[in-house]
Structure 1
Amino acid sequence: MIRVLLADDHPVVRSGYLRLLDQAGDIRVVDEAGDADAAYAAFSSARPDVLVTDLSMPGGGGLELIRRVLAREPQARVLVFTMHDGPLLVRRAFEAGARGYLTKASPPEGLVDAVRSLHAGRRYLDPDLPSNLLHRDPLDEAARLAALSGREFEVFRLLAQGQSPRECAEALKLSAKTVSNHQTVIKDKLGVTTSAALVHLAMRHGVISTAGA
């Protein structure tokens, strides 16, 4: 049985999707939440196999919820289920750590398929969205990495290992302000907006191991 946590700020919407998922036979909604804080608390206690969340919610929103959940459980399977289909938002959701993205304009069976895909360890993208939103071009990323200066690359590596800007400053004997400036430039050059996306990029290119070493 696939255990699902459903997060959406509209009770009527949650009720409809709860019935849809429960009728699938192999899926059970173990908890539901109407805002990001409640969803995080429910995730921490229920430990679902898949978290299905909207992006527009009180309490920080869906993207912040994804980041908090992934910080607690790096292997968490999060499916974004939302009315928004803008390419930038889709990319940001995946950068935050989501493993699937589905719009509410999709057929009802799409939600069931997406939950099953994530539970099986596969990523999922709404069939009506461009497939290139699911992956970044590794050659483009390699070129961006090559554009970092030696000092920027060292700061990037330390940040990707989980060190704070203050710890980076101490290790490299730089001021905290200098490291903060480097961090801003690095994210801009690499085309990432979050620390999680920076870590994932470093892992993809072998800058750090999957264990963060």
Structure 2
Amino acid sequence: MTAIRILLVDDHAIVREGYRALLAKQTDLAVVAEAGDAEQAYRQFKQHRPDLVLTDISLPGGSGLELIRRIKQHSGNAAILVFSMHQNPEFALRALRAGALGYVTKSSEPGVLLHALREVFAGRHALSADMAQILALEKLGKQQLALETLTPREFEILRLLVAGKSHADIAGMLNISVKTAGNSHYLIKSKLGVNSDIELTKLAIQLHVLELLA
């Protein structure tokens, strides 16, 4: 089996040494190049064409985010995993939007990093459990705020939609037209940032809207 060829990017030599020792124990992983700053990393990427880039997000000579963008511009299918001390969800979101497939915090167990490397190489997203939880809570918080933008009438319609009522049912119960019920349905989904009734129901469950139906 051919090993996954990795470019290792971190500005601390002793940290890179630790990563290299960990990866050297894996028969399917191999570090083929290293870099201590963003500019060197980009040159090494072009020279060695690694299968995967493992990079920190805080780098001298340009940020890791800029490095990710440059690499993705050069090679759109490049597999990139961020390994960082930062647990701020904004860092992870920006890294993923820039083109990284995964984000693992440095407080994670070694096995988490190894699993993430293989997942990203396979083209799948990978997040360490702590970051996945933070991002989920961040998303839920924003959705909770979105829920608060609904008018009392819209919230009542949401409750009825989640309970399985049709537009005609809702129109009769609230003494509005079927068209108004349908328009409100569309507006509710728009305000909550969902595209389908399945997503709307899932969000309602997350936000405990169903518990308010009794």
Please give the TM-score of this superposition, normalised by the length of structure 2.
0.61
Q: What is the alpha-carbon distance in structure 2 between the residues aligned to residue 39 and residue 85 of structure 1? A: 23
Q: How does 1:11-22 map to 2 (within 5 A)?
A: 11-22=13-24
- Which residue number in structure 2 is paired with residue 129 of structure 1? 131
Deviation readout 1:26-56 (Å, 9 max, x if unpaired): 1000000000000000001111111000011
Report if the CA contact (8 A) 1:69-1:76 is conserved: yes
Q: What is the alpha-carbon distance in structure 1 between the residues aligned to residue 132 and residue 45 of structure 2? A: 30
Q: What is the alpha-carbon distance in structure 1 between the residues aligned to residue 18 and residue 134 of structure 2? A: 31
Report if the CA contact (8 A) 1:54-1:62 is conserved: yes
Q: What is the alpha-carbon distance in structure 2 between the residues aligned to residue 38 and residue 50 of structure 1? A: 16
User: What's the CA shift for 1:121?
Assistant: 1.5
User: What's the CA shift for 1:25?
Assistant: 1.3
One-letter amino acid of the counterpart of residue 132, structure 2: P
- Which residue number in structure 1 is paired with residue 120 of structure 2? 118
Sequence identity (%): 49
Matched position secondary structure for 2:43: helix
Q: What is the alpha-carbon distance in structure 2 between the residues aligned to residue 132 and residue 33 of structure 1? A: 29
Report if the CA contact (8 A) 1:125-1:131 is conserved: no
Q: CA 1:117–1:44 in structure 2 vs 1: closer, same or farther (change >3 Å)?
A: same
Deviation readout 1:6-41 (Å, 9 max, x if unpaired): 000000000000110111111000000000000000
User: What's the CA shift for 1:131?
Assistant: 5.2
- Which residue number in structure 1 is paired with residue 7 of structure 2? 5
Report if the CA contact (8 A) 2:89-2:134 is conserved: no
Matched position secondary structure for 2:87: coil
Q: What is the alpha-carbon distance in structure 1 between the residues aligned to residue 79 and residue 58 of structure 2? A: 19
Q: What is the alpha-carbon distance in structure 2 between the residues aligned to residue 130 and residue 110 of structure 1? A: 12
Q: What is the alpha-carbon distance in structure 1 between the residues aligned to residue 58 and residue 83 of structure 2? A: 10
- Which residue number in structure 2 is paired with residue 105 of structure 1? 107
- Which residue number in structure 2 is paired with residue 39 of structure 1? 41
Matched position secondary structure for 1:41: helix
Structure showing greater radius of gyration is 2
One-letter amino acid of the counterpart of residue 31, structure 1: A
Q: What is the alpha-carbon distance in structure 1 between the residues aligned to residue 75 and residue 34 of structure 2? A: 19
User: What's the CA shift for 1:107?
Assistant: 0.4
Q: What is the alpha-carbon distance in structure 2 between the residues aligned to residue 94 and residue 31 of structure 1? A: 23
Q: What is the alpha-carbon distance in structure 2 between the residues aligned to residue 121 and residue 131 of structure 1? A: 21
One-letter amino acid of the counterpart of residue 121, structure 2: H
Report if the CA contact (8 A) 2:57-2:84 is conserved: yes
Q: How does 1:29-178 map to 2 (within 5 A)?
A: 29-130=31-132, 133=135
Report if the CA contact (8 A) 1:3-1:49 is conserved: yes
Q: What is the alpha-carbon distance in structure 2 between the residues aligned to residue 119 and residue 97 of structure 1? A: 13
Please provide the CA RMSD for this pair.
2.0
One-letter amino acid of the counterpart of residue 12, structure 1: I
Q: What is the alpha-carbon distance in structure 2 between the residues aligned to residue 4 and residue 110 of structure 1? A: 17
| Unpaired segments ≥5 residues, structure 2 | 144-214
One-letter amino acid of the counterpart of residue 16, structure 1: G
Report if the CA contact (8 A) 1:102-1:114 is conserved: yes
User: What's the CA shift for 1:133?
Assistant: 3.5
Please give the TM-score of this superposition, normalised by the length of structure 1.
0.61
Q: How does 1:189-200 map to 2 (within 5 A)?
A: none
How many residues end up aligned between the 2 structures? 138
